[in-house]
Copies of this chain bind each other. A is one copy, B any other.
Amino acid sequence: MAIRTDAPTRREQILKEAARLFAERGFHGVGVDEIGAAVGISGPGLYRHFAGKDAMLAELLVGISGRLLTGAKRRLQESDGTPAEGVLDSLIEGHIDFALDDRPLITLHDRELDRLRDSDRKLVRQLQRQYVELWVQVLREVYPAIAEPAARSAVHSVFGLLNSTPHLGRPGSLPGRGTTAQLLHRMARGAFAAAAA
């Protein structure tokens, strides 16, 4: 995994602050002036970098869905041939990393989807659906007994479990990132096992 070391571009700064503000107060609850102020420029200056407020949200949501999906696909390829249990663990691990490191994006991901233009919303939904189906496939390899509708429901529910990170108190009050990650991982596996019983 290639780690970025160069400074973030202004565009990236804006996206990061916009994500935080949207998550905190909702898309309609944040004005462009506030987003600008968060990166040290004033409202209309944003339009040198984005076509509009909608475009920021669209880029955020498409970016999240895309990164989740490509990350999962990569994990699936890398663990080709290994037992399905390990693949499922890898998927869970990837999702937890994301949920712990990009909480604002996780929040936006299932909250502001309906604020998108039709075409963008369709794209995001398609990426999300592919991501879910990929999990469903792996889950049914580990637990062949579980029917497909139940598997899909179980996957959505486990996403709800893993995406609960924003409710687990501020990043400082947690018992430590590693401990929390392990707890979430165990719970996800336990929930899946129980779903198959």
Contacts and interface: CB of A to CB of B under 8 A. Distances in A.
Contacts of A162: 157, 160
Interface in A65-79: none
B157 A187 contact: yes
Q: What is the copy number of this chain in the assembly?
A: 2
Given A167-B159, A190-B193, A183 B153 contact: yes
Given A26-B115, A114-B25, A186-B194, A164 B175 contact: no
A19 to B, nearest CB: 16
Contacts of A26: 26-29, 111-112, 115
A153 B161 CA distance: 10
Contact of A195 (B149, B154, B157, B183): B183
24 contacts: A25-B115, A26-B28, A28-B28, A28-B29, A149-B175, A153-B180, A154-B183, A154-B187, A156-B164, A157-B161, A157-B164, A157-B183, A158-B187, A159-B164, A160-B160, A160-B163, A160-B164, A161-B161, A186-B197, A187-B192, A190-B192, A190-B194, A190-B195, A190-B197
